[in-house]
Structure 1
Amino acid sequence: MAVSLRRKREAPRGRYTPNLWPVWIVAPVALIAAGALGWVIYHYAYDHFAQAAATQKPPKPVNINDVLKATVTALTLVGAVLAGLYAYRKQLLAEGDAHRADASQLAERYTTAAEQLGHNQAAVRLAGVYALARLADDWAEQRQVCIDVLCAYLRMPYEPDPTAPEHKAGEREVRQTIIRVIRDHLQQPDAPTAWCEFNFDFTSAVFDGGSFSSSHFRGTVSFSGATFDGGRVSFRNATFSGGTVTFDRATFSGSRVSFSNATFSGGTVTFRNATFSGGTVTFDRATFSGSRVSFSNATFSGGTVAFRNATFDGGRVSFSDATFDDGRVSFSGATFSGGTVAFSGAICSGGSISFTGATLSAGTIAFRGAIFSGGTVIFNGAMCSGGSIDFPDATFSGGTVAFRGATFSGGTVDFISATFSGTSFDWGPVPIPAGA
C-alpha cells in the first residue's frame, strides 16, 4: 500500500500540473485539522471573555454564546481564506492545462512548418516560410529556434543559374521571401515581435539579391564565408547600434551590396579576409560615429568599395594588412571630424585609393608601414583644417600619390621614416619630405 501510494505521488502529471494527494488521505487530515483549530480558537476566545467578565463589578459569568459566535466567526474567516487558496489552485491547474495545450499546438505547428520547408513544390515551401515566421511571433520561448531554421534554409546549397542541372524551380523566390520576412521583423526594435536582438547565422550562404534595408541589427549576425555573386543586396538605411555583423572570408564577385545611408553608432562590422574581385560595395552617405568596421587582411582584386560622402565623427575603419592589386576604394567627398581610417601594413600594387574632395577637420587617416608598389593614392581637392594624414614607415617604390588642388589650413601630413624609390608624387601644397 505504501509503495502504491508513493508511486501515485511520484507519477508524472505533466509539466504544468502539480502532484495531488488522494482524497481519502486529505479529507480525514482536513477534518482533524479543522477540529483542532476550532478547539484552540474556542479556548482562546473563552479565556478572552473570561478575563473581560472578571474585570466587571460585580463579576459576571462567561457568556458561552459569545464564545461560540467568536469561534464560528474565526473558523469562517479561516474557511474563506482556504476557499480562496483552493480557487487559486484550481486556476493554476486550469492555466497548466492551457499552457500544455498551447505547447502541444505550437510543437505541432513547428513540425508542420518544417515539413513544408522540405517539400519539393516551391509553393509549399513558401507556405512553410510564412508559417514558421508566424510561429516565431507566437512562440517567444522558441523564437530563436524558428529563426535558426530559416537561416539554415539559406545556408543550404543553392544554384542561382536557372540553366544549371542543380537549379530548383522557384527556389530563388523562396529564398527572397525568407530574406524579406527577416527584414520585416527588423524594422521596429520596440515591437513585441521584433527580432532585432536575436542572432542570425548566414555562414557560407549564397546571395544573389535581397534587401535588409532599414533594419536594426543589435545581435550577432554572421555572413562569414558567404558568396555575393549577383543581383543586389541592400542594407540601405540600416542601423548598427550594437552586436556584431561579420562578413569575414566572404566573397564579393558580382553583387551590388549597398550600405548607403546606414548608421554605425556601436558594435562591430567586419570584412576580415574577405575577397573583392568584382561588383560594388557602397557605404555612400553612411555615418560612422562609434562602430568598428574592419577590412583587415581583405583582398581587393577588382570591383569597388565606396565611402562617398560618408561622415566619420568617431569609431574606426581599418584596412590593416589589406592587399590592393586592382579595384577601387573611394572616400570621395567624405567628411572626417573624428575617428580613424587605417591602412596600416596595407600592400598597394594596383587599383586606387581615393580621398578626392574629402574634408578633414579632425581624426586620422593612417598608412603606417604601408607598401606602395603600384596603383594610386589620391587626395586631390581634399580640404584639411585639422586632424592628420600619416605615412610613417611607409615604402614607396611605384604607383602614384597625388595632392593636387588640396587645401591645408590646419592639421598635419606626416612621412616620418618613409622610404621613396620610385613612386610618382604630385605634392601640391604638401611640403616635400626629405628623401622624396
Structure 2
Amino acid sequence: MATPDRPNRTTLRAHLSKLKREHPHRLAISVLIFIMGGILLIGGGYPLAGTAWSWLWLRNQAGDVVVASLGVILIVLAVARVSSSTWVERAKLGPLIFAAWATVIALVVTLVAGVWWAMDTPAWMRPPRMTTRMLLDVVTARVFAIVAGLGGAALLVIAYRRQKSTEEREEREATKLFTERFTTAVRQLGEEHAAVRLGGVHALARLADDAPDDRDDLVQMVIDVLCAYLRIPYAAAPGPRSEDTNDEQAAEHHRRDLEFSSFREVRHTVIHIIGNHLRDGTKWCRMKYDFTRVVFDGGDLNGAKFFGSKVDFTNARFTSSPVSFRNAWFSGDLVDFTNTDFSASAADFTGARFLHTTADFTGANFSETTADFTETNFLYTTTDFTGANFSETTADFTGARFTGGTVKFQNIGLFSTTAKFRKARFTGATADFRGAEFFGGTVDFRNTNFTQAIAKFMAAKCFSGTLDFREARFTDSMADFFLVEYIGGMIDFSSTNFTRTTALFTGDNFIGGTVDFTNARFASGTVDFTNARFTSGTVDFTDAVFEPPPTGLQEAIDKGEHGAVIRPEQQQGTNNQNGESEDPRPPD
C-alpha cells in the first residue's frame, strides 16, 4: 500500500525531470539557491546548538537567528520555485515586475541587516544637522538609486521574458520543421519504388542525427520507425523457376523476385545504418531497440554498442546470411534473445561484452549450427540459456570471462553437442548446469579456472558422452555434483586441482563408463562421496591426493561392485608380514 506522501514525491520528481529536460538553467539556479540557503542555515544554526533553550533571550545570538531564518526561507523558496516552475511563464508581466521589486527590496534589507549584525549591531546615531541643499542632494541620490535599482530589475524581467519568448518561438519552429521532415520521410517508406524508400531511410537517419542533444525522444521516435519497418512481414523469395513455365508465369516470377530483392535491399540498408551509428558511439547507442520477430538475412552489427535500457530480439530469426555481433557491447537492463532462432545461421558473439545486464537466451535455437562466444566477457551479468536447443551444435566459450553474475544452462539437453569452455575463467560467478542432460558429444572444461565461483551440476545426467575437466582449477570455490548420474561415457577429472574447495559427489550414481580422477588433487577443502554408488564401469583414483581424506569414499567403495573402483594410494590396504598388499575389503 502506497504511503500518503507518495503522490507528492512523484509530482516533485516529475517537476525535476521536466526542469532538467526543458529548463536546465532554471533548475541550476534553484539548486544554487538551495545550496546557499543550506550554507546559511548551517552557518547560522550551528552556533545555536549549545544554547537551544536560551537563544531567543540572548542579544548576542540575534544575528545567528537572522541568518538561520534566512537560510530556512531560501530553502523553502528554492523548493517552491521547483514545484511551481511554470508560474513565471504563465504570469503576466506586471505581477512579475512587482515580484522582482519585492525580491530586490528583500535582498537590500537582508544585506543591510547582515552588515549591521557583522558590525556588532552598533547603536543608531542621529545624523548631523544638514542644510536644505544638503538634504535635497541626499534625497535625490537615494531616490535615483532606488529608481535605478527598481528599473534595472524591471528591465531584467522584460529581457528575460523576451528571451524566453524568442526561445519558445524557435523551439516551435524547430519542432514544426522536424515534424514536416519526419512525415515526409515516413511517407517515403511506404512508396512502391525501392529508390524512394531508400531515400526515406537515409532522411530519417539524418533527421535523428540533427535532433538536439537533449531531445532523445526525437531520436527514439526515428529508431522506432526504422525497427518497425524491419518487423513488417514480407513475401518470401520465390523458388527456382521451373523449365516448363509459360511467359506469363515467368513474368510473374520475375516480378516477385524483383519485389523481394528490392525489399531486402531496403531492409539491409536499415540494418547497415543502425550498425554504423552504433559502432560510431553516437547518441543512437543509448536508445532502445525492438527487433522482435525480425528476420535477419544479412547486415552487420559487428562492434555495435547497445547501451540503452533494452535490446529485444525476441522471436527473431537469423537466416542463411550471418549477422555478426563480434566485439559488440551490451549494457543496460536487458538484452533479450528469448526464442531467437539461429539454426540457419552461425551466431557469432566473439569478443562481445555483456556489462551489468541480463542476457536472456531462454529457449533460443542453436541446433545444427555454431554458437561462437570465444573470448566473450560477461561482467556482472545474468546470462540465461535455460531451455535453449544446442542439438548437434558447436557451442564455443573458449577463453570466455565470467566475472560475477550467473550463467544458466539449467535443464538443457546437449545431444551430440560440442560445448567448449576450455581456458574460460569463472571469477566470483556461478555456472549452473542443474538438471542438464549430456547425450553423446563433448563438454570441455579443460584448463578452466574457477575462482571463488560455484559450479552446479546437481541432478545432471551424462549418457555416453565426454565431460572433460582435465587440468581444471577450482580455488576457494564449490563444485556441486550432487545426485549426478554417470551412465556410460567418460567423465574426466584427471589432474584437476581442487584447492580450498568444497567438492560434493554426494548421492552420485556411477553406472558403466569411466570416471577418471587420476592425479587429481584435493587440498585444504571438503570432498564428500556420502551415499555415492559404484555399481559398474570404472572409477579411477590412481595417484589422486586427498588432504584431508574424503568423506564417505571408503564406505561407497565397500558397498560398490568389487573391481569397479581403482583406489588412490591412501585408500590401498597395508602390507602384511610377507610384503604383500592386503585388501581391506573381503573377496567376492
The alpha-carbon deviation at position 19 of structure 1 amounts to 7.4
Structure-2 separation of matches of 1:338 and 1:269: 18
Residue in structure 1 matched with residue 337 of structure 2 by the alignment: 247
Show the 5 A alignment for 1:34-433.
55-56=128-129, 60=132, 67=139, 71=143, 74-139=146-211, 140=215, 141-158=217-234, 161=237, 163=239, 165=256, 168-187=260-279, 193-218=282-307, 219-379=309-469, 381-384=470-473, 386=475, 387-398=477-488, 400-403=489-492, 406-408=495-497, 410=499, 411=501, 413-429=503-519
- Asked whether the 8 Å contact 1:158–1:206 carries over to 2, the reply is no
Cα pair distance change 1:422/1:120, threshold 3 Å: farther
- Asked whether the 8 Å contact 1:307–1:332 carries over to 2, the reply is yes
Any unmatched runs of 5+ in structure 2?
A: 1-85, 98-124, 241-255, 521-539, 542-552, 565-588
- Asked whether the 8 Å contact 1:247–1:269 carries over to 2, the reply is yes
Deviations 1:53-75 (A, max 9, x none): 99527x64886687567546644
Identity within the alignment, %: 35
| Greater fraction of residues in helix | 2
- Asked whether the 8 Å contact 2:445–2:472 carries over to 1, the reply is no
- Asked whether the 8 Å contact 1:225–1:247 carries over to 2, the reply is yes
The alpha-carbon deviation at position 174 of structure 1 amounts to 2.3
Higher mean C-alpha displacement, 97-106 vs 214-223: 214-223
Structure-2 separation of matches of 1:53 and 1:270: 83
Provide the TM-score with structure 1 as the length reference: 0.77
Any unmatched runs of 5+ in structure 1?
A: 1-14, 31-51
Cα pair distance change 1:158/1:419, threshold 3 Å: farther
- Asked whether the 8 Å contact 2:237–2:260 carries over to 1, the reply is no
The alpha-carbon deviation at position 305 of structure 1 amounts to 1.6
Deviations 1:326-348 (A, max 9, x none): 43222123234442211101123
- Asked whether the 8 Å contact 1:208–1:228 carries over to 2, the reply is yes
Deviations 1:276-303 (A, max 9, x none): 2222111101223321111012122232
Structure-2 separation of matches of 1:97 and 1:241: 38
Structure of higher RCO (CA pairs closer than 8 Å, 6+ residues apart): 1
Match of 1:341, SS?
A: strand
- Asked whether the 8 Å contact 2:493–2:515 carries over to 1, the reply is no
The alpha-carbon deviation at position 414 of structure 1 amounts to 3.3
Structure-1 separation of matches of 2:435 and 2:392: 20
Structure-2 separation of matches of 1:56 and 1:377: 108
- Asked whether the 8 Å contact 1:394–1:418 carries over to 2, the reply is yes
CA RMSD of aligned residues (A): 3.4
- Corresponding pairs, count: 389
Structure-2 separation of matches of 1:176 and 1:361: 44
Cα pair distance change 1:72/1:354, threshold 3 Å: closer
- Asked whether the 8 Å contact 2:416–2:442 carries over to 1, the reply is yes
Cα pair distance change 1:98/1:136, threshold 3 Å: same
Cα pair distance change 1:148/1:310, threshold 3 Å: same
- One-letter amino acid of the counterpart of residue 401, structure 1: M
- Asked whether the 8 Å contact 1:160–1:172 carries over to 2, the reply is no
Match of 1:169, SS?
A: helix
Cα pair distance change 1:370/1:90, threshold 3 Å: same
Cα pair distance change 1:179/1:382, threshold 3 Å: farther
Cα pair distance change 1:127/1:374, threshold 3 Å: farther
- Asked whether the 8 Å contact 2:351–2:376 carries over to 1, the reply is yes
Cα pair distance change 1:406/1:159, threshold 3 Å: farther
